[in-house]
């Protein structure tokens, strides 16, 4: 294990990756150096930065010998005290983190994909080895959510965590809502402005938010939830018409990650999907690429965390907080403990309940409404509100249900797809927050 440094000692940092976040971290460490030393007695020294391409132009000036192509040499170097992994992706990040932990080095990572898949093994390994594995930046970028869940809310009976944890999709939905843009135009703008990747799948299909939801559920409930347990649905099927109906009814459409405890049982439900949020709910006012997470607990009531969920400096800010924590712990010869994770049932999406908005393009003739409400009745789905938009060939029925089981709603949709009265199902959104 790395040596515990003495007060006023230097803690040597090895940074793996020098993209947006790595470069911002190097600059932030330099900018905050005096304050960090004054408050903690520690001098953070960026000893190595491992990159794929040494000759690339970068926004940071690094002393000779700091840049290296050999990331494995960094995690195996006995003179490096703390490892920061900001490469992203699966390999070599997975093997580098495993090696660093096996070498007894504290690790800071922003890698949600890895944490959502193998985090539980690493957390057990780091607890057993007595080293820190910190990951504030992995969920909601610069927002201090993980530390709040892990430390401040450790004794809180958390019942639900619900958040906008993907900035790209929030930007796209905001454009669709406020400018009436359709999905592909809003996506193109997000790509042009650098919010969305050229291949936007991870963001727009909900994979990124799903990984974050698994980490949130794990920490909030002490439960062993991995990415594969999380139902995820993205925003590529959300239409301008869905958004305008939602708005007319007093809602805004958001991509939500939801992790909740099911009643008094140990079961948790974890999912990501677009949802209609009432305009009065605090999450409804979270615009553009901002993130926000709403936490509900029996004792504390409701809390909301808001801020930048991505970007070099916001993410580096979260990483630096973790680096300082790990450095201070190392100096004291101590470490944080994440604790154990229970194996709990994760409720399949079919068994979850919600209110739903269902849009149906229909034949405008006698008996159609009767046929449709018959289907709802047969599956035990109760209607709270219904209206018809348009007439003749443009007729569209819009229903909002009372609380209904997902499986029952899906059974209704299957029947509607076969029904001659229904030309097409033109929208399905879950309604949240009431
Ligand atoms: N691509 C993510 C987002 C940031 O758009 O929020 C990194 O998780």
Which of these, 4, 263, 315, lies nearest to 139 by C-alpha position? 315
In the chain, the percentage of residues whose pLDDT exceeds 70 is 98
Prior bond of 92 cis (ω within 30°): yes
User: Which residue among 267, 298, 332 closes a domain?
Assistant: 332
Give residue-wise pLDDT tens across range 373-396. Answer: 999 999 999 999 999 988 888 899
Do 256 and 165 belong to one domain?
yes
**Do both 171 and 304 map to the same domain?**
yes
Q: Best mutation site among 203, 255, 316 for ligand 1, i.e. most ligand atoms within 8 A of its Cβ?
A: 203
The string of pLDDT tens digits covering residues 220-274 is: 999 999 999 999 999 999 999 899 999 999 999 999 999 999 999 999 999 999 9
The pair of structure tokens assigned to 221 is: 């409930």
Atom of ligand 1 nearest to the CA of 197: 1
Tens of pLDDT, residues 88-142: 999 999 999 999 999 999 999 999 999 999 999 999 999 999 999 999 999 999 9
Is residue 271 assigned to a domain?
Answer: yes
Same domain, 383 and 292: no
404 & 265 share domain: no
The answer on 237 and 327 residing in a single domain is no
**Residue 256 domain-assigned?**
yes
Tell me the per-residue pLDDT of 282-319, one tens digit each, with 9 for 90 and over: 999 999 999 999 999 999 999 999 999 999 999 999 99
Mean predicted lDDT score pLDDT of the chain: 95
> Residue 336's CB: how many other CB atoms inside 10 A?
19
Same domain, 282 and 179: yes
- Ligand 1 centroid, distance to 214 Cα (angstroms): 15
324 & 379 share domain: no
Q: Is the pLDDT of residue 179 over 90?
A: yes
Partners of 221 in beta bridges:
none
| Mutation pick for ligand 1 pocket among 21, 142, 168, 193 (CB with most ligand atoms within 8 Å) | 168
Are 244 and 295 contained in the same domain? yes
Atom of ligand 1 nearest to the CA of 168: 5
Q: To test ligand 1's pocket by mutation, which of 109, 198, 208 has the most ligand atoms within 8 angstroms of CB?
A: 208
CATH number of the domain where residue 275 is located: 3.30.360.10
Mutate which of 163, 195, 206, 310 for ligand 1 pocket (most atoms within 8 A of beta carbon):
310
- Whether residue 167 is contained in a domain is answered as yes
Q: Is 212 a catalytic residue?
A: yes
Check whether residue 162 and residue 253 sit in a common domain: yes
State the sign of the Cα–Cα–Cα–Cα dihedral 198, 199, 204, 210.
negative
pLDDT value at 280 more than 90: yes
Residue 338 maps to a domain:
no
Provide the CB-side half-sphere exposure for 175 (13 A, CA): 20
Catalytic residue among 212, 365, 417, 423: 212
Residue 147 forms part of a structural domain: no
Of all protein residues, whose CA lies closest to atom 2 belonging to ligand 1? 166
Q: Which domain holds residue 319?
A: 10-141+312-332
Number of domains present in the structure of the chain: 3
Ligand 1, CB within 6 Å, residue ranges: 166-168, 203, 208, 309-310
Index of the ligand 1 atom closest to the CA of residue 202: 1
Q: Which of 300, 332, 364 is the last residue of a domain?
A: 332
Distance 272 CA to ligand 1 centre (A): 14
- Contact predicate 352/275, CB 8 Å: no
Q: Report CA(309)–ligand 1 centroid distance (Å).
A: 7
Residues 137 and 41 in one domain: yes
pLDDT tens digit string along 12-48?
999 999 999 999 999 999 999 999 999 999 999 999 9
Q: Give the domain CATH number at 357.
A: 3.30.70.260
Residue 3 has pLDDT above 80, yes or no: no
Helix (H) or strand (E) holding 254: strand 251-261
Instruction: Report the nearest atom of ligand 1 relative to the CA of 112.
Output: 8
- What is the spatial distance between Cα 390 and Cα 172, in angstroms, rounded to a whole number? 28
User: Residue 169 CA: which ligand 1 atom is closest?
Assistant: 5
Output the domain CATH number for residue 29. Answer: 3.40.50.720
Q: How far is the CA of 260 from the centre of ligand 1 (A)?
A: 22
Q: What atom in ligand 1 is closest to the CA of residue 196? A: 5
Name beta bridge partners: 425.
360
Same structural domain, 192 and 295: yes
Question: Same domain, yes or no, for 297 and 414?
Answer: no
> Using CA positions, which residue lies closest to atom 4 of ligand 1?
310
Instruction: Quote the pLDDT of residue 433.
Output: 63
- For residue 340, being part of any structural domain is answered with no
Domain membership of residue 289 (yes or no) is: yes
Report residue 164 as tokens: 């906008």
Tokens of 85: 């992994």
Q: Whose CA is nearest to atom 7 of ligand 1?
A: 310
How far lies 407's CA from each of 270, 347, 356, 411, 414, in Å? 16, 12, 12, 6, 10
Q: What is the pLDDT at residue 393?
A: 87
Q: Ramachandran region of residue 97, left (φ > 0), alpha (ψ -120 to 50) or beta? A: alpha
Please report which confidence band the pLDDT of residue 61 belongs to, taking 50, 70 and 90 as the band edges.
confident
Instruction: Please report the beta strands in 353-401, taking only residues with DSSP state E, as ranges in sequence order.
Output: 353-362, 383-389, 396-401
Residue 326 covered by a domain: yes
CA 103 / ligand 1 centre spacing (Å): 30
Task: Give the tens place of pLDDT for each residue, 423-433.
Answer: 999 889 999 86
290-297 vs 158-164, strand pairing mode: antiparallel
Cα of 24 from ligand 1 centre, angstroms: 16
325-364 pLDDT tens trace: 999 999 999 999 898 999 999 999 999 999 999 999 999 9
CA-to-CA distance for 228 and 346, rounded, in angstroms? 11
Q: How remote is the CA of residue 334 from the centroid of ligand 1, in Å?
A: 32
pLDDT grade for 7, boundaries at 50, 70 and 90 = low
């Amino acid at each position: 294990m790395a040596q515990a440094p003495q007060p006023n000692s230097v803690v040597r940092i090895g940074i793996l990756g020098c993209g947006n976040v790595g470069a911002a971290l190097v600059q932030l460490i330099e900018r905050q150096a005096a304050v960090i030393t004054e408050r903690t007695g520690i001098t953070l020294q960026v000893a190595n930065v491992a990159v794929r391409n040494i000759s690339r132009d970068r926004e940071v000036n690094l002393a000779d010998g700091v840049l290296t192509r050999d990331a494995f040499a960094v995690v195996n170097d006995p003179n490096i005290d703390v490892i920061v992994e900001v490469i992203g992706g699966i390999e070599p990040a997975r093997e580098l983190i495993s090696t660093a932990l096996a070498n007894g080095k504290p690790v800071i990572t922003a890698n949600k994909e890895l944490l959502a898949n193998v985090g539980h093994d690493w957390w057990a390994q780091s607890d057993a080895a007595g080293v820190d594995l910190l990951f504030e930046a992995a969920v909601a970028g610069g927002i201090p959510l993980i530390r709040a869940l892990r430390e401040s809310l450790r004794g809180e009976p958390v019942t639900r965590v619900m958040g906008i944890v993907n900035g790209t999709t929030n930007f796209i939905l905001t454009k669709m809502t406020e400018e009436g843009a359709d999905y592909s135009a809003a996506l193109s703008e997000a790509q042009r402005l650098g919010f969305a990747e050229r291949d936007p799948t991870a963001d727009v299909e909900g994979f990124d938010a799903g990984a974050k939801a698994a980490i949130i559920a794990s920490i909030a409930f002490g439960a062993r939830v991995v990415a594969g347990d999380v139902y995820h649905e993205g925003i590529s099927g959300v239409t301008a018409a869905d958004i305008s109906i939602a708005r007319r009814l007093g809602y805004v459409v958001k991509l939500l990650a939801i992790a909740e405890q099911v009643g008094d049982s140990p079961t948790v439900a974890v999912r990501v999907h677009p949802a209609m949020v009432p305009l009065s709910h605090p999450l409804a006012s979270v615009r553009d690429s901002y993130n926000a997470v709403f936490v509900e607990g029996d004792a504390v009531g409701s809390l909301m965390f808001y801020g930048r969920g991505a970007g070099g400096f916001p993410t580096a800010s979260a990483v630096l907080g973790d680096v300082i924590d790990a450095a201070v712990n190392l100096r004291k010869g101590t470490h944080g403990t994440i604790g154990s994770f229970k194996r709990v049932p994760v409720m399949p999406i079919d068994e979850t309940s919600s209110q739903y908005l269902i849009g149906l393009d229909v034949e405008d003739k006698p008996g159609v409404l009767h046929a449709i409400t018959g289907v709802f009745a047969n599956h035990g789905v109760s209607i709270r509100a219904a209206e018809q938009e348009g007439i003749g060939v443009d007729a569209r029925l819009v229903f909002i249900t009372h609380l209904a089981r997902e499986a029952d709603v899906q059974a209704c949709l299957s029947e509607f797809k076969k029904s001659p009265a229904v030309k097409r199902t033109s929208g399905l959104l879950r309604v949240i927050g009431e």
